[in-house]
Structure 1
Amino acid sequence: MADLLRLLQFGDSALPIGGFSFSSGLETATEIGLVHNVETLEAFLDAALRISASGDGVGLVCAFRALEAQDLDALSAVDEEINARKLNEETRLMSVRMGRKLVELSAHVVGDPINVEWLGRIRDGRTPGTHPASLAATSAGVGIRSDEEAFALLNYSLATAILGAALRLMRVSFVETQSILWRSMEKVPEAYAAIEGATLDDMAGFAPVTDILAALHVKGHLRMFMN
């Protein structure tokens, strides 16, 4: 029960690691009319989760293997690969900010030795500290026992961040966003099964429209969310 409660705590959308400060491209998508109702919002979220699964999801699985071997050098190597595959500035910034905040929070609250050492590497500039790699590093301390659980948490965090942004950006209700979340989470087990045995060579994130939206957001004059 204790592990479940800790997992719920660190899976909370209000966890103060900065996820609520980014819209993952949704702000620009709503501004240009690409996302304008419940149906297009759900399609946007589904696309974001597919992109995350083939990119950060694969990186997370590989990071978890390095963590299970207690090899922080290997974890750093995975971290570098995850960071290198983020083509736009906004996505890289979001990942490393959330990753660092997650490790700082876990180091303060939990104090797991591996997590504390990982935080030291981030602060010394020896590793970027992306969110997927940092999620793997903090896993044992916060009750995550498998890469499957970590993958679920990664997807839930992304989905709640995007849907939370939608509530501030467009005319959509809490009931509608919760319905979208329910349907989206039903697809996560299948997404995990597709990447469970993946290697770093399989990590990819071909998403030109998302990259363009992020680039437009960086140069935008009026913004509610960070870039």
Structure 2
Amino acid sequence: MTAHLPLMVWLSPSFPVGAFAYSHGLEWAFESGDLHDAATLGDWLEALVTQGSLRNDLVLFSCAARAVTAEDDATLAEIAELALALANSAERRLETATQGNAFVTAVRAAWPCAAIERLRSAWSGDVAYPVAVAAASAGHGLPLAASLEAYGLAFVANLVSASVRLGIVGQTDGQKLTAALVPAIRNAARAAEAATLDDLGACTLRSDIASLRHETQYSRLFRS
């Protein structure tokens, strides 16, 4: 199976995980004035890729994929639990768990594989989104490097789409930002490929605060 084809399907906006409903705290950052043009949005997204939540998601993805390949159910369950624990706000947990659970449901129906059943056997709780995609990717024998890059690009593309809908940037600037972040995404994926759980860590405090503040934001378009 050509690696990019299932990844294109799973990580496209049409795959039924509801990614369009989440802004990852960008909505509050926009309302507060932190984000107001392409330059500020680009800095914010690059920080998430290199030092923030996406960096951690890629590490979790890599560790989960390797645990699936090794048929290490104990480690897979540990990673699944840790991925939820690392969600540092109610909305971040909602975002990753809702998408992860929806992804598992869709893959079991349309793209079944033993790895997804192994994941559900090893861990019966909510499934964080990167763990769910990692299990399917490993279960279908997709290259880890390509899967990490695809996941990272989909994360950025979804936040750029949210930013366009919020009016932070227009469609052309949004595409320019996505293209400009591709090298950073590739570097983050490359670093995550051999990472362990000991490499987890982030320092994007303003993004974390945005997620917390969004919970009580008066007028909202997004669930996070």
Same fold flag (TM > 0.5) = yes
Secondary structure of the structure 1 residue equivalent to 2:220: coil
Whether 1:22 aligns to 2:25 is: no
How many equivalent residue pairs?
223
- Give the Cα separation in 2 of the matches to 1:207 and 1:187: 16
Residues 89 and 205 (structure 1), Cα distance of their counterparts in 2 relative to 1, 3 Å cut: farther
Q: Deviations over 1:37-78 (max 9, x none)?
A: 111111111112221343111111111110111223321111
**Contact 2:30 2:168 (C-alpha < 8 Å) held by counterparts:** no
AA at the equivalent of 2:31: E
1:186 equivalent in structure 2 = 183
AA at the equivalent of 1:41: L
Deviates more, 1:187-196 or 1:150-159: 187-196
1:47 equivalent in structure 2 = 47
Secondary structure of the structure 1 residue equivalent to 2:218: coil
* Deviation of 1:120 (Å): 5.8
**Contact 1:13 1:160 (C-alpha < 8 Å) held by counterparts:** no
Residues 3 and 208 (structure 1), Cα distance of their counterparts in 2 relative to 1, 3 Å cut: closer
* Deviation of 1:140 (Å): 4.1
Q: Percent identity?
A: 26
Deviates more, 1:179-188 or 1:11-20: 11-20
1:108 equivalent in structure 2 = 109
TM-score under structure 2 length normalisation:
0.91
2:166 equivalent in structure 1 = 169
Stretches of structure 1 lacking an aligned partner (at least 5 in a row):
none
- Give the Cα separation in 2 of the matches to 1:3 and 1:23: 28
* Deviation of 1:113 (Å): 2.5
2:85 equivalent in structure 1 = 84
**Contact 1:58 1:200 (C-alpha < 8 Å) held by counterparts:** yes
Residues 115 and 3 (structure 1), Cα distance of their counterparts in 2 relative to 1, 3 Å cut: same
Residues 144 and 188 (structure 1), Cα distance of their counterparts in 2 relative to 1, 3 Å cut: farther
* Deviation of 1:144 (Å): 5.7
TM-score under structure 1 length normalisation:
0.90
User: What do you get for the CA RMSD once the two structures are aligned?
Assistant: 1.9
Q: Deviations over 1:85-118 (max 9, x none)?
A: 2221111111111111111111111121321343
